[in-house]
Homo-oligomer: A and B are copies of this chain.
Amino acid sequence: MKSENQSSPERAEPTKAELDILTVLWKHGPSTVRFVHEQLNTFKEVNYTTTLKQMQLMAEKGLLSRDESQMKHVYGVAEEEQKTKSYLLDRFVNHLYEGSAGNLVMQLLDSKKASKDEIKAIRALLDKLDEEEPTTQQ
């Protein structure tokens, strides 16, 4: 069984180190500490117990859930990847772009951070949005 801890009305902004761990779990799915630790060490140096402690703390905070039915506990993210990212994106937009997603995108496109294919994909998405919902919010 997963340990439940579903109380997250108050959401915490993941710290840097936490985000690194979340990233690994998003990419690989539920994993052991050992595995996460190895992944982290491909780009930074940390002691095993540091990773362990970090993940324990995160589980406690409700950022991760864990299956402790085996000795090697398996940790997974507590919330949908998209949900969390969406939240972070929201904060980002609010802080840096006065809440205007358009402003952000414009800078993104303007500074050529998007590749051609990406631009194409974006346009396609725009079209799709356009036709499926003539009446949007706001």
Q: Which of A28-36, A62-70, A119-127 contacts B (4 or more CB under 8 A)?
A: A119-127
Q: Are B129 and A95 in contact (CB under 8 A)?
A: no
Q: Give this chain's copy count.
A: 2
Tally of A interface residues using CB under 8 Å: 49
Q: Which residues of B contact A45 (CB under 8 A)?
A: 2
Q: Are A116 and B95 in contact (CB under 8 A)?
A: no
A38 to B111, CA, bound (A): 34
What residues make up the interface of A, taking CB atoms closer than 8 Å to B? 2-3, 19, 23, 41, 43-45, 82, 85-86, 88-90, 92-93, 95-97, 100-119, 121-123, 125-126, 129-130, 136-138
Q: Are A108 and B119 in contact (CB under 8 A)?
A: no
Instruction: Write the nearest CB–CB distance from A112 to chain B, whole angstroms.
Output: 6
**Interface SS of A by simple majority:** helix
Q: Are A23 and B95 in contact (CB under 8 A)?
A: yes
B82, B107, B114, B137: the one within 8 Å of A107 (CB):
B82
Q: Are A119 and B107 in contact (CB under 8 A)?
A: no
A-B contact pairs, 14 of them (CB 8 A): A88-B96, A101-B108, A102-B118, A102-B122, A105-B105, A105-B118, A105-B122, A109-B122, A109-B126, A109-B129, A112-B137, A115-B137, A122-B126, A123-B123
